[in-house]
Amino acid sequence: MPAPVVADLVIRARRVVTLDPAMDRRARPPEALAVKAGRIVWIGERVGVEDFVGPSTQRLDLPGATVVPGLVDSHAHLLSLGRALSEPDLAGATSEAEAIARVVAAAGNGSTWVEGRGWDQNDWPAQVFPTHHALSAAFPDRPVALRRVDGHALWANAAALSAAGITAATPAPPGGEIVRDAQGAPTGVLLDAAMGLVTRVIPPAPDVQVRRWVEAAIAACHRVGLTGVHDAGASDASVRAFEALAAEGALTLRTYMLLDADDPTNAKRLEAGPQRGDWLTVGGVKLFADGALGSRGAWLSAPYSDAPQTSGIPIVHGAALAERVRTYAARGFQLGVHAIGDAAATDVLNAYAQVLTPDNDRRFRLEHAQIVRPEDMRRMATLRVLALVQPTHATSDMPWAEKRLGPERIRWAYAWRSLKDAGARLVLGSDFPVEKPDAMDGLYAAVTRQDAAGQPEGGWYASEALTAYEALWGFTAEPAFAAFEEARRGRIAVGMDADLTVLGGDPLATPKSALRGLRVVHTIVGGRVVYSAPQ
């Protein structure tokens, strides 16, 4: 019998969760594993791994830790996260005045544009959109553009409106809205497609800055245990930064990209079709069918319960959406369409149905799948459309979501158990930087449907919660499937890539209320330790 190989890395832990049911349900589950050349070569009991240790083997002896398959965020925005880490952070500001004060404190002196992100009028006393007036008083000459927490509304000052040429006479573009006062003058808030009126005149960041943002985002992902991310709506500049890192052998995050189909810089990439690689894959195309619920841009089939004058903002829809789906599908792309409202979900499924046969393996995605009618849940299963959901959206939105939707429609919203029972596959993520990138927050929200304070008691519409095993599967095996990588990633098995997250406790045995407190001890990608928690 040949001698075992000498491993590059061996790990001895309290438990290894493989996501192989037969192995995980053993009376004594695996406790150790060995890695060679970036792949797992052995799994078993702690004593057995010693056969793979040589003089050059790196050892991680972690008697209290649990190893799980590498956590993957299936819907996120890497470049936006990197930018957000360097910009004024408005998340949690409790008033318009506090948000402006944060921008003033962070902006410093200069004449260039000031950008920031994270404000949410639902956290303010009046729960109404801000206007440009106080922001213009704080910045009378310097243009300011502040994105709402969900990225679907922009708050601009007078200098930014002027730079964009926006006046009372400016028409709103299709799929967008210029919020106006009683006299018809722009208030400073732009919704969805109208945001482009301002963002297109902001000077693009140089490549060196884009790379810094990307590197900062990758480091932030590793700190919270992420070994991979699906980047939902990448620009050409972002792809180029990742390509450069990959070419240098410096990319340490498995990155699956969906190109932003509305970004003109992506024209050549959209013509070229998918490009697959070991570390970077450009495999999909991202489209927008509507906006967000918090800014009342989500496209509903009936008016908002708290704003009966609107049903939201359809962006790309009907025949135009169907044509774009056909075009990109013919080029071999996976389609991922943002759809938060129920009317948007129906429209996307109508477009998908023109391309997908019942036995298809295209793995098209409904990004967010936030408000889906029961009959459309069943249709998703029939068409094999993946439900890309973000558990922390439910716990962030629950203070006001029912006001938007009313008591009947809220039962179709954030309905993970109903989607799963209908036969849809749930692929989990965070939508960072809309939410924090910490997958432990996502696991906690998925199984408790409670906020960080444990409210509401028993969980918000708790019948829609997932089990801990289902939630872990949704952050590991399902993202691998969604990226066509299930043969190499998403589970722990001999021959699979050694993409691993090491946690301070067992997420399948930890009390639900304590899941948020699980510490990431190590993040390992391709057998390389890319993050270790401070001792």
**Which pLDDT tens digit goes with each residue over 188-235?**
999 999 999 999 999 999 999 999 999 999 999 999 999 999 999 999
pLDDT mean over 357-370: 96
Indicate whether 435 belongs to any domain: no
**Which pLDDT tens digit goes with each residue over 292-343?**
999 999 999 999 999 999 999 999 999 999 999 999 999 999 999 999 999 9
Detail the DSSP E strand segments found in 401-460.
Answer: 426-428
Domain end, chosen from 199, 217, 249, is at: 199
Residue 56's CATH number? 2.30.40.10
CB under 8 Å, gap of 24 or more: what pairs does 506-513 form? 506/14, 506/15, 506/17, 506/66, 507/17, 507/66, 507/68, 507/443, 507/468, 507/472, 508/17, 508/468, 508/469, 508/472, 510/468, 512/444, 512/447, 512/448, 512/468, 513/448, 513/454
**Which pLDDT tens digit goes with each residue over 33-72?**
999 999 999 999 999 999 999 999 999 999 999 999 999 9
Domain end, chosen from 199, 230, 263, is at: 199
For residues 146 and 56, membership in a common domain is answered with: no
**pLDDT greater than 50 at residue 1:** no
Radius of gyration of the chain (CA): 23
pLDDT at site 2: 58
Using CB atoms within 10 Å of the CB of residue 377, give its burial: 0 to 12 exposed, 13 to 18 middle, 19+ buried: buried
How far, in Å, CA of 168 to CA of 158, rounded?
A: 12
For residues 97 and 183, membership in a common domain is answered with: yes
Domain end, chosen from 137, 170, 199, is at: 199
Indicate whether 61 belongs to any domain: yes
How far, in Å, CA of 46 to CA of 15, rounded?
A: 10
**pLDDT greater than 70 at residue 242:** yes
**Which pLDDT tens digit goes with each residue over 513-523?**
999 999 999 99
Residue 165's CATH number? 3.10.310.70
Residue 312 has φ and ψ, to the nearest 5°, of: 100, -170
Indicate whether 36 belongs to any domain: yes
Indicate whether 531 belongs to any domain: yes
**Which pLDDT tens digit goes with each residue over 451-475?**
999 999 999 999 999 999 999 999 9
Indicate whether 12 belongs to any domain: yes
Q: Domain containing 151: what range?
A: 90-199
14 membership: H or E segment, kind and range = strand 9-16
pLDDT mean over 266-289: 98
How far, in Å, CA of 535 to CA of 518, rounded?
A: 15
Judge if pTM exceeds 0.85.
Answer: yes
| Angle of CA points 341, 395, 480, to nearest 5° | 75
Contact 530/215 with Cβ under 8 angstroms? no
Indicate whether 130 belongs to any domain: yes
**pLDDT greater than 70 at residue 90:** yes
Query: Mean of the per-residue pLDDT values for the chain?
Result: 96
Domain tally, the chain: 2
How far, in Å, CA of 154 to CA of 377, rounded?
A: 32
How far, in Å, CA of 78 to CA of 235, rounded?
A: 11
Residue 508's Cβ-side half-sphere holds a number of Cα atoms within 13 Å equal to 18
